[in-house]
Amino acid sequence: MPVAGLLKRGQLDVLIQTLRARGYRVVGPRVKGGAIVYDEVSRADELPVGLVSVQQPGRYRLEDSANGRLFDYVHGPESLKRFLFAPQETLWTVAQNGEVSFKETLPEQRPLAVIGARACDLAGMEVQDRTFLKSQYNDFSDPYYATRRENLFIVAVNCTRSAATCFCASMNTGPRAREGYDIALTELEDSFLVEAGSAAGAAVLAELPLQPAREMETTQAAQAIEAAARSQTRRLDTTDIQALLFNNLEHPRWDDVAERCLSCANCTMVCPTCFCHRETDVASLDGKQSEHQRQWDSCFTLEHSYIHGAQIRPQIRQRYRQWLTHKLASWIEQFGVSGCVGCGRCITWCPTGIDLIEEVNAIRAQPEAKT
Ligand code: SF4
Ligand code: SF4
């Protein structure tokens, strides 16, 4: 869709108020516990003014750049995942009152608008769509995910700054948002270049005090996004990556990484595409009612590989190998795309700074078998 125009930075509040007037619950980036997370936003001055994130393997810090910009923080630990695939929810309840009855508990239908999603987040959502929505990869749609997906409005932000852990450019997923958004913003000196990505987005933009964008501003926006891509020093070489990993399942690097990995599951919690979960029944004390709950889980937990009396991946080397080979190799067989979109969150938020690119590179440098 064509560029709709320019919105002055001081008028971003009009976008928030327009979305709220249309019935959306609006969430956007907020500072909580020293990190940027998504939370309810009712005014633009609640956004993280002037903050930038400094990200390294195992390290995340917010610093004040005093530049007045709103979206230079790049991203925090959260993606769009929890807004579509809830960390914990009740799928159905069972009651026993003379007879047994089941009740489905679908999520509330109130539309949600998320401000600040990045290109990697949209790519992560597209990967999860293949898991949770009916497609050539999947025979059914998860009604919980599908309901939230239908009611989601996305205001994406094209990145004009990358974190040191980002590698979306090498995964061809960013830093420009390509699809899946309703509105896309690119932050310029004191305004945003605004684009609509859907009819719903265009309808919202029609209510904003936009000024015409000149070629100078569209060029500036394109150059800023390109500069963010060029600034990325990490890149994942995906050449023959399926064969590389499948042919090296007994590589000594898996023992090496197991020495550093705590099996804490942080990497899977922050990953926008990971979808492991467990389902449990929680009964009331009187035994008359029970809730069937779904909860995020991780292939790094020992229990997740428990099948009929045995843990099939008792060692950390096996669990790390399972995660990496699924993410970068068998995901492609399963869903036709990589399970990694290059957001770099698993690198930043790993307490011991394990970098999946370094692990792949180490195996590629000295493969055990020909790929
Ligand atoms: S790779 Fe890092 S974040 Fe992931 S389980 Fe191991 S220690 Fe935790
Ligand atoms: S594997 Fe790591 S870099 Fe890739 S999408 Fe998941 S969190 Fe992001």
HEC assignment per residue over 62-131 = EEECCCCCCCCCCCCCCCCHHHHCCCEEEEEEEEEECEEEEEECCCCCCCEEEEEECHHHHHHHHHHHHH
The size of the chain, in residues, is 371
Half-sphere exposure of 306 (CA within 13 A, CB side): 7
On the 0-12 / 13-18 / 19+ scale of CB atoms within 10 A, 245 is buried
- Assign 3-state DSSP to the chain and report helix, strand, coil percentages, each to 5: 35, 25, 40
Q: Ligand 2: which residue has its CA nearest to atom 1?
A: 340
> Relative to the CA of 165, which ligand 2 atom is closest?
3
Q: Closest ligand 2 atom, CA of 347?
A: 2
- Domain assignment present for residue 92? The answer is no
Residue 271 in contact with ligand 1 by CB distance below 6 A? no
Ligand 1 atom closest to 262 (CA) = 7
**Domain identity same for 159 and 123:** yes
Q: Is residue 291 part of a domain?
A: no
Q: Is residue 293 part of a domain?
A: no
The answer to whether residue 128 is domain-embedded is yes
Q: Is the CB–ligand 1 distance for residue 356 below 6 Å?
A: no
Q: Is the C-beta atom of 261 inside 6 A of ligand 1?
A: yes
Nearest CA to ligand 1 atom 1: 261
CB-neighbour burial class of residue 222 (10 A; exposed 0-12, middle 13-18, buried 19+): middle
Same domain, 181 and 127: yes
Each residue's pLDDT, cut to its tens digit, for the chain (371 residues) gives 667 799 999 999 999 999 999 999 999 999 999 999 999 999 999 999 999 999 999 999 999 998 999 999 999 999 999 999 999 999 999 999 889 999 989 888 899 999 999 999 999 999 999 999 999 998 999 999 999 999 999 999 999 999 999 999 999 999 999 999 999 999 999 999 999 999 999 999 999 999 999 999 999 999 999 999 999 999 999 999 999 999 999 999 999 999 999 999 999 999 999 999 999 999 999 989 999 999 999 999 999 988 888 998 999 999 999 999 999 999 999 999 999 999 999 999 999 999 999 999 999 999 986 55
How many domains does the structure of the chain reveal? Answer: 2
Q: Which atom of ligand 1 is nearest to the CA of 298?
A: 5
From the CA of 260, give the closest atom in ligand 1. 7
Helix (H) or strand (E) run with residue 210 in it: none
Do 188 and 272 sit in the same domain of this protein?
Answer: no
Are 261 and 118 part of one and the same domain? no
pLDDT in tens, 79-117: 999 999 999 999 999 999 889 999 989 888 899 999 999
Q: Flag whether 54 is in a domain.
A: yes
Nearest CA to ligand 2 atom 5: 340
Domain encompassing residue 272:
241-277+299-365
Could you tell me if residue 316 is inside a domain?
A: yes
Task: Kindly state whether residues 154 and 9 are assigned to the same domain.
Answer: yes
Cα 9 from Cα 361, distance rounded (Å): 42
- Is 37 domain-assigned? yes
Residue 352 lies in a domain: yes
Report the atom number in ligand 1 closest to the C-alpha of 316. Answer: 6
Site to substitute for ligand 1 among 352, 356, 359, most atoms within 8 A of C-beta: 352
| Token pair recorded at residue 102 | 């089941």
**pLDDT tens digits along 253-266:** 999 999 999 999 99
> Which residues, 6+ apart, have CB-to-CB distance to 328 below 8 Å?
236, 238, 241, 242, 245, 338, 339, 340, 356, 360
pLDDT of res. 306 = 87
Any ligand 1 atom below 6 A from CB of 316: no
Looking at the fold, whether 173 and 251 belong to one and the same domain comes out as no
Ligand 2 lining (C-beta closer than 6 Å): 270-273, 327, 340-346, 356
Distance, in Å, from the CA atom of 41 to the CA atom of 6, rounded to the nearest integer, reads 22
Same domain for 206 and 336, yes or no, is: no
Q: Which of 346, 348, 359 to mutate to test the pocket of ligand 2 (most atoms within 8 A of CB)?
A: 346
Please give the Cα distance from 202 to 4 (Å, whole number).
Answer: 8
What count of Cα atoms within 13 Å lies in the side-chain half-sphere of residue 279? 7
- Lookup: tokens for 206: 């029609």
What six digits make up the tokens of 316? 């950390």
248, 189: one domain? no
**Does residue 267 sit in the same domain as residue 186?**
no
Both 73 and 177 in a single domain? yes
One domain for residues 12 and 45:
yes
Q: Residue 142: phi, psi to the nearest 5?
A: -75, 115
Same-domain status, 253 and 185: no
pTM value is 0.95
265 lines ligand 1 (CB under 6 A): yes
Ligand nearest to the CA of 81: 2
Q: Which of 195, 230, 265 finishes a domain?
A: 230
